[in-house]
Amino acid sequence: MARFVLAQAGAEATRPTFWKIGHLGEAIFYYLAAVAMAIFAFGVYERFATYAEGTDSWFDRLDDLSGRIVSATKIVFSNQKQFDRDLYAGLMHAFVFWGFLTLLIGTTILAIDMDIWTKGLGQESFFNGAFYLSYSLVMDAMGLLFVVGVGMAIYRRYWVQNNRLWGRHTSAEDDLFVWSLFLLGVGGYVTEGVRILGTSATRDVSFETVSFVGWFVYDVLAVAGVSPEMATAAYPVIWWSHALLALAFVAAVPYAKPFHMISSFANVVTRDEKAGKRLPGVPEDASPEEIGHGSIEDFTWKELLDHDACTKCGRCSSVCPAKASGRPLDPRDVILDLKRYREDRDAGNVEEMPIITDATVDETYSPGRGAEAATDGGVATGESVIASETMESCMSCMACMDACPVEIEHVEQFTQMNRRLTESGQMDPNVQDTMMNVFQNGNTFGEPQRKRPDWADELDFEIPDARDESVEYLWYVGDYPSFDERNRKVARSLATILEESGVSYGILYDDEQADGNDVRRVGEEGLYEMLVEDNAEAIQDCDYDKIVCTDPHSYNTFKNEYPEFEACSWTEDDVFHYTQVVEDLFTELGLSGTELDYTVTYHDPCHLGRYNDEYEAPREIVKATGCELDEMPRNRDNSFCCGGGGGGLWMDFDEDPKPSEERLREALNDTDAGSRVEKFVVACPMCMTMYEDGRKTGGYEDDIEIVDVSELLVDAIGRKEQVEVAAD
């Protein structure tokens, strides 16, 4: 079509710039554009100057910068994080992103032609002929996608009223942002249609059909009775309205929600690939007052960037199990509370206050009350920005981080605030008792260390001592499999599997101590480092090839955190979860895949799945037993936490429903098999404890059984042996 139109239009295939605006209007526009760009540049500078005031990040955020930029560009330009779990939002954002980017590029090309190529270098304009027609077609097509995308956003926000888009931080800023985008997109087409109609009185505009949306507006105006003369008279007003809105938008970018277009990309570039899986340490010379985040000045520059990158999309809130259970935590609100407090304080609207203290929720910082506080002559916002109960509610499941499209690292900041609570003696009493147990006895149960290997007494074989002989697999058993009566059965099942397979393995007996994964996540960094030293010393005295862990929590910290300490000689490639090892032992066990006929469902533990991307090994084991595996609606990286992580296993919460109860309800009501599900399969001792509790408190004792993957496999081995005996 473009070729046909070009043949008719020839070199006249172009459009007049500043038509009916005049030289004075053109000068005013350039002046206002310069002002808008200066305001924009100053605002961006101020933002990044604020980040420079933040403390240094524990991890290197700018190493391999070119590689980071390439990786971030792929993530951002593909919109892959927006498509996760929400196709509608992914399409919407892709339309808006690519439409806006195309319009920005198109405007830049026009400016280059007008201001540099033509006026600056004195060359003949290239904004005509085939180039102009191609330009117009692409701009109209992508601009239409932009308008459709913004329309989808408006529909979801105001018509559907998606819950996650609304919260206590929702404000007029959000309305202005989305409606400004819509008016910019629609206004551009109205301006184009009016221009085509106005210029039709003096030239042949048939080639403008390539601008199919603008031509549609032209047709609508003509049918409505708008004459070329009327269009010509209205054009300056319409043009200036569109131009002023565009310039105001540019100037406002650094000061409002549109800044996420810059901060989000920067946040993705500077992300830590292991964020949440590993946590920052504490400088050796840090005093107690310097540990954790007690004031806004304690936050790193990356954490301040996190705050500005938040778009209020609510994805983190919608997947947070703490919020779903009624705990006083909304990860979005925590991030935005910190941002609002910093902005209010810098503006003089509130006085300095601690970031976190042992205060009730009602007494903590309430965004939006800054001006009210200033009017009253004091702080109307309570004792701290964030309440201790809020941080204690976090399960460290990392669902918020996994769902966040702009790579905000919530867990790191939450842990830093927990460290401040710990150092100031404001830890939950139950957690405090548990930490004392670990300090005095090396385990969370407070049992004497000599009792750690007692779980193996009921076995009819001796478990090798890795301290006395070389082994292929050094098995770190963990606290719950060692001391909790229900999880001792899991330990014995795994021991049976390892023994049956004939592999070389051994344990540390009473030299093993608590792994410290959750000790670290409740804020006890000093105790965690002590555990690292003790466990590393015990392990390094052994001759082994690989470390295998029963508990995904142990697996995570041994794999991702211990190797960062000088005391440890192993790497992340040397550490395995038991399901990864057992999956490779099928041939030794001689399983045919027909032993069991249960209908089961499997729960992905956070520390195995979302933390370390292991989803298939447990499933392969379950399938190998012959069971019918019916997937949970929320599975793999979208799995719902049991409630035990982040110290949740040691705390008492007023929850309705408990995460474990909700998960069991989901297994029995929302899976395809429904009430036919006989066994709820787990691969984590903490999950076992939480779900056994949820089975009792939720009234599911007669409906479903909680079993570990290892127990299911031992059941299959037992069935196989019975069949063989009967056959003989």
Confirm if 358 and 364 have CB atoms less than 8 A apart. Answer: no
The CA-atom distances, in angstroms, between 297 and each of 280, 350, 381 are 17, 15, 19
Is 31 within the bounds of a domain? no
The CA-atom distances, in angstroms, between 236 and each of 49, 140, 318, 401, 636 are 40, 21, 46, 48, 57
Any bridge partners for residue 300, and if so which?
Answer: 55
Residues 650 and 525 in one domain: yes
3-class secondary structure, 70:
helix
- By CB atoms closer than 10 A (0-12, 13-18, 19+), residue 458 is exposed
What pLDDT sits at residue 122?
83
Residues 649 and 604 in one domain: yes
Is 282 within the bounds of a domain? no
Estimate to the nearest angstrom the gap between the alpha carbon of 718 and the chain centroid.
43
- By CB atoms closer than 10 A (0-12, 13-18, 19+), residue 11 is exposed
Q: How many CA atoms lie within 13 A of 23 on its CB side?
A: 0
Q: Could you tell me the two tokens for 197?
A: 């109609």
What pLDDT sits at residue 373?
31
Residues 437 and 305 in one domain: no
Confirm if 56 and 258 have CB atoms less than 8 A apart. Answer: no
CA distance 572 to 612: 11
Boundary-marking domain end, from 423, 455, 471: 423
Confirm if 184 and 246 have CB atoms less than 8 A apart. Answer: yes
Alpha helix (H) residue ranges in 53-159:
65-78, 80-83, 87-111, 129-154
CA distance 96 to 248: 19
DSSP string, 548-582: EESSHHHHHHHHHTGGGSTT----GGGEEEHHHHH
Which residue reads 């910019």 in tokens?
Answer: 184
Residues 419 and 433 in one domain: no
Write down the pTM of the prediction: 0.91
Is 49 within the bounds of a domain? no
What pLDDT sits at residue 85?
84
Residues 461 and 601 in one domain: yes
3-class secondary structure, 285:
coil
Is 130 within the bounds of a domain? yes
3-class secondary structure, 194:
helix
Local mean pLDDT, 10-residue blocks, the chain (728 residues): 46 83 94 97 96 95 96 94 92 96 94 87 87 94 97 96 93 95 97 96 92 96 95 96 97 95 96 96 90 94 97 95 95 97 92 75 37 31 82 96 96 96 90 96 96 96 97 98 98 95 96 97 96 97 97 98 96 97 80 79 98 97 94 96 95 91 97 96 98 96 97 85 51
Residues 416 and 441 in one domain: no
For residue 199, what are the contacts with CB-CB under 8 A and spacing of at least 6?
A: 15, 16, 19, 205, 228
Residues 522 and 403 in one domain: no
Residues 433 and 392 in one domain: no
Is 277 within the bounds of a domain? no
- Which helix (H) or strand (E) segment holds residue 681: the answer is strand 679-682
Is 267 within the bounds of a domain? no
CA distance 602 to 230: 69
Residues 588 and 727 in one domain: yes
Look at the chain and report how many structural domains it folds into: 3
CA distance 253 to 41: 10
Residues 701 and 677 in one domain: yes
Q: Could you tell me the two tokens for 147?
A: 């308008």
Confirm if 350 and 329 have CB atoms less than 8 A apart. Answer: no
Is 470 within the bounds of a domain? yes
Confirm if 228 and 200 have CB atoms less than 8 A apart. Answer: yes
Which residue reads 């929590």 in tokens?
Answer: 553
Domain that holds residue 197: 2-9+87-258
For residue 303, what are the contacts with CB-CB under 8 A and spacing of at least 6?
A: 54, 409, 412, 413
Residues 414 and 331 in one domain: yes
Is 226 within the bounds of a domain? yes
3-class secondary structure, 387:
strand
What pLDDT sits at residue 654?
86
CA distance 532 to 567: 8
Estimate to the nearest angstrom the gap between the alpha carbon of 442 and the chain centroid.
33
What pLDDT sits at residue 719?
65
Determine the length of the chain: 728
228 CB neighbour count, 10 Å cutoff: 18
Boundary-marking domain end, from 423, 440, 467: 423
Which residue reads 């989803």 in tokens?
Answer: 615
526 CB neighbour count, 10 Å cutoff: 16
For residue 106, what are the contacts with CB-CB under 8 A and spacing of at least 6?
A: 135, 138, 139
Boundary-marking domain end, from 397, 423, 449: 423
Q: Residue 367 is part of a domain; what is its CATH number?
A: 1.10.1060
Expressed in angstroms, the distance from the first to the final Cα of the chain is: 82
Residues 545 and 560 in one domain: yes
CA distance 662 to 660: 5
